[in-house]
Amino acid sequence: MAVDTNIPILIVDDYKTMLRIIRNLLKQLGFNNVDEASDGSAALQKLRQREYGLIISDWNMEPMTGLQLLKEVRKDAHLAKTPFIMITAESKTENVIAAKEAGVSNYIVKPFNAATLKAKLQSVIGAF
């Protein structure tokens, strides 16, 4: 059964243009129920106010990084099972390992293309 493309998605990035890019690419894939946050702390606040079916987050943000956000999400019993995709320019093996150990669902390296985003989304939330 295909995934409901109306699932609420939270995208987190400190660059407004990147938020806009991801939002537009998600829209092209049929996902229009998208919220934004500019860093990990703001994202955590939103996550505690509303249920999301997916989190897509950058890594390098202040005051809370994407990795710290991921760890907070996985620590919280209500949020722990939320799929989490990291989209980041951090491409070293040690970064990917750290994210995996923290419980990331999948990892996309910037710059990325729409096909990669679609493939990773499908691998995490299912076919659509």
Partner 1 sequence: MSQTSQMAPAVAEVDDARARRLRTSLDMLKDLRELVQFIQRAKAEIAAIRPDEIKDRHLTIASDELDAIVSATEDATNEIMEAAEAIEGIAAGIGGDQADAISESVTRIYQACSFQDITGQRISKVVGALKHIEAKVESMVTLLGGREAAILRAAKVVEAADEDPEAKLLNGPQLPGKATSQDEIDALFG
Q: What x/- string results for residues 48 through 87 when contact with partner 1 is judged by CB under 8 A?
A: ------------x---------------------------
Alpha carbon 65 to its chain centroid, in Å, reads 12
Counting residues that bind partner 1 (by CB under 8 A) gives 17
In whole angstroms, the minimum distance from the beta carbon of 28 to partner 1 comes to: 6
Query: Looking at 24, 32, 45, 123, which residue binds partner 1 (CB under 8 A)?
Result: 24
Q: By C-beta, is 28 or 45 nearer to partner 1?
A: 28
- Spatial distance between the Cα atoms of 88 and 119, rounded to a whole number of angstroms: 16
Contact status: 119 vs partner 1 (CB under 8 A) = no
In whole angstroms, the minimum distance from the beta carbon of 89 to partner 1 comes to: 5
Contact status: 113 vs partner 1 (CB under 8 A) = yes
Q: By C-beta, is 38 or 103 nearer to partner 1?
A: 38
DSSP the chain: -PPPTT--EEEE-S-HHHHHHHHHHHHHTT---EEEESSHHHHHHHHHHS--SEEEE-SS-SSS-HHHHHHHHHHSTTTTTS-EEEEES---HHHHHHHHHHT-SEEEESS--HHHHHHHHHHHH---
Tokens of 84: 């989490």
* Interface positions with partner 1 (CB under 8 A): 13, 15-18, 20-21, 24-25, 28, 60, 89, 110-114
